[in-house]
Amino acid sequence: MAAVSIEESLKVGRLPEGKTALFMCDLQEKFRPAMLYFSDVVSNAKKLVESTKILEVPLVVTEQYPQGLGNSVSEINIEHAVCTVPKTKFSMIIPEVENAIKTLCDGQLKCVILFGVEAHVCVEQTAIDLISSGITVHIVADATTSRTQEDRLLAFERLKQIGCFVTTSESVIYKLIGDKNHPKFNEIRPLIKDKSIETGLVSKMGESASTQLTWQFQLELAHSVLVKPRKQFSETNVEFSWTLEKDTKLDNQPLAQKLSSKEKKCSTCGKSFTRPQDLTRHLRIHNDTSNYLCEECGKSYRSLDGLSYHKALNHRETNDSSAPLFKCSKCNKSFTHQIQLKVHLKNSHQRAKSVYTCEICIPAATFERKDVFKNHVALHERSKPFTCRICDKYFSSRSNLQSHSRTHDPSVALQCPNCSKKFSSKKKLDSHIPECLTRKTCPSCKFFCQREEEMTEHTKKEHPADYAIQEVFGHALEEFKKTYRTEMVEQFKQVADRPEPKAVFFTCMDSRMLPTRFTQTDVGDMFIVRNAGNLVPHSKLFGIDSATTEPAALELGCIVNNVKHMVVCGHSDCKAMNLLYSFKKGIETNMKTLERSPLKAWLHRHGSISLTKFERLEVHGFQQPLTFPMEGPFRQFVAYIDPDNKFTLTDKLSQLNTLQQLQHIASYSFIQSAINSGRVHLHALWFDIYTGDIYVFSRKQKRFVEISEETSDYLLDEIREYFV
């Protein structure tokens, strides 16, 4: 036979090897109660998925809104799926699936085997999208379902009209195998040994839904009313026979006339019957002349079964075992028939499983199903003639409506004397007062609770500032004494007589800056000086009348304790630098404002030089360098401030200001001498509080460089070289 091209084989319904994929559409657990033949459909789908897994056909799975409808059914193992994608769109063809299609079958996907729910919604829309993109689609009918039979059948009709092949799971598997000598046939054989489960619709797929419904109605009508019985009945001179005359047509007469014309009456009592079996059963009553008499009470019965049942129910003795009893295992009640025991269990004991309780019924009615419960509640609402005009709630009495109305009118509501809460009735108020007297109320909001632990958790989460104060002056100090105190006392002892601090660390007083954390320093390692904006006043601004902490800290570290390193550390989103940046407009720098604000006066006096240099750089787009002359021409350095434009303007100002403080530190004569002798070294750090990244100023690269695995060795070598 001549070779057939892939395009020709696709047209006749073949499934080309290596160019076919399996698509499972929304076969999820929450759909189980609503879908026709769902368990049977899942069984067929399971066989299909397992077979295609063996044949290495790629699987794509989607799940419609899994947060509400759950995940795919547990019976089907989809771990080997190329992707399992959640969606809200009805069609499976969403961006994630489109990307998967590009990689399936090495980008040569030609055919899709599609199944799932619902046939007339998600499956149909997926098929339309696939065909529109030039992909052939095979619909697996016995692995696809809908909520109604009509929707399912009509969907299959429409899918055939648009060019889909409507097939079955077994047909697909055999098409994929193609030959009994297929190398994986023996591995698949156990799966196809048993035939696929009938789903009730495949045999009639050639007919339209309306044709099937008409045919089904006529069939039921003929069998129940107009068919000829298998034999003729003749008892007590009453003969009857029902036959369907040859010239009788279903559409000639109304159904009611046909039924009435075939009714037969009992000649003894005149009772009418439409079915022959009912009349036959009735005639036995008149013909049965033998009476079965109860020896205990004298009642008579027409049959021995009736008498036996009567004796077992009313006259059974403890030693009589002729009629077995069915005992309830929960309450020890006995019944003569098993069906009675089942009814008893359902009515008396299984009601406890109900989850929906009607609060109106007395005693309370319970329901296992939500829809039945809603219908029941609706009956109550229709019986309540009094309606609230504001919220449309129904009430059975005017007094209940009046109590409810108080919830909408604060002026008539009853208020608790201990809190501001209001109630619509005195009963609710009385039940609230005991709780109110013992509960704990948050001073910062309306939250209240009964336990101290709950209030602590609330304060910690919602009001961290208040919680911090409580911790500092209460719980934290107690916790410190219990846990860290012993360990730290030992550290204090080691440095008490001979402390050897190695650095003076100038940084901002911002509460988000924790220098001991990111420098990993311990007790006695360094002096920490904190102020607004990590500013160090220039030596020209020092005097008897303007002495500040910063120069004193420099002398204490350099002269008294022989500290070797002076470090200035700025940070991102510095509130002091944000305020300094606002001085550009000149609004905050008039004398009256400075006299009233110590913070603004501090920034204006010691930060103005940083702002001036920043404005000069801003004009040139931060592409020109700045020169910082320090203690001599050999110690001055050049710096670029964020030429790559990675940071905000205020962060750029913060970096420039950090470098400016190195120049201020070097302006003191005792620091100059220590630097010239190589005894003291200056460093600039900058900390990004939002990312945790630390930057160190590199004199060689003339900018702040992030400390990382790639840069740490280089930066350490530069610092060692600078020290030498």
pLDDT value of residue 222: 45
CA distance 661 to 667: 10
pLDDT value of residue 111: 95
Residue environment code for 121-151, b if the CB has 16+ CB neighbours within 10 A, otherwise e = bbbbbbbbbbbeeebbbbbbbbbbbbbebeb
pLDDT value of residue 571: 94
pLDDT value of residue 247: 41
CA distance 149 to 167: 17
Residues 6 or more apart in contact with residue 379 via CB below 8 angstroms: none
Q: Distance from CA of residue 520 to its chain's centroid?
A: 40
Q: Where is pLDDT greater, at 695 or 291? A: 695
> Would you say 510 is a known binding-site residue?
yes
> Would you say 391 is a known binding-site residue?
no
> Would you say 574 is a known binding-site residue?
yes
Q: Where is pLDDT greater, at 194 or 3? A: 194
425-429, 461-465, 508-512, 631-635, range with greatest mean pLDDT: 508-512
Mean pLDDT of 562-569: 92
pLDDT value of residue 250: 41
> Would you say 349 is a known binding-site residue?
no
Percent of the chain with pLDDT over 90: 31
Q: Distance from CA of residue 246 to its chain's centroid?
A: 67
Which of 372, 687, 354 is CA-nearest to residue 505? 687
Single pTM value for the model: 0.39
State the pLDDT confidence band at 505, using cuts at 50, 70 and 90. very high
State the pLDDT confidence band at 233, using cuts at 50, 70 and 90. very low
Which of 132, 127, 134 is CA-nearest to residue 167? 127
Task: Compute the mean pLDDT over every residue in the chain, rounded to the nearest whole number.
Answer: 79
Q: Distance from CA of residue 567 to its chain's centroid?
A: 48
What's the token pair of residue 547?
């002495």
Domain 6-208 identical in fold to domain 503-723: no
Phi–psi pair at 655, nearest 5 degrees:
-65, -45
Q: Flag whether pLDDT at 253 surpasses 50.
A: no
pLDDT value of residue 239: 42
Other CB atoms within 10 A of residue 535 CB: 24
**How do the domains of the chain map onto residue ranges?**
6-208, 503-723
> Of the given ranges (285-294, 322-331, 355-364), which has the lowest mean pLDDT?
285-294
Residue environment code for 627-646, b if the CB has 16+ CB neighbours within 10 A, otherwise e = ebebbeeebebebbbbeeee
Identify the helix (H) or strand (E) that includes residue 217.
Answer: helix 209-221
pLDDT tens track for 302-339? 777 777 777 776 776 544 544 556 778 777 777 777 77
Q: Flag whether pLDDT at 261 surpasses 60.
A: no
CATH number of 6-208: 3.40.50.850
Mean pLDDT of 394-409: 74
pLDDT tens track for 50-108? 999 999 999 999 999 999 889 999 999 999 999 999 999 999 999 999 999 998 988 88
Q: Residue 621, SS3? A: coil
pLDDT value of residue 157: 92
Determine the topology of domain 503-723 in CATH. Beta-carbonic Anhydrase; Chain A (3.40.1050)
pLDDT value of residue 375: 76
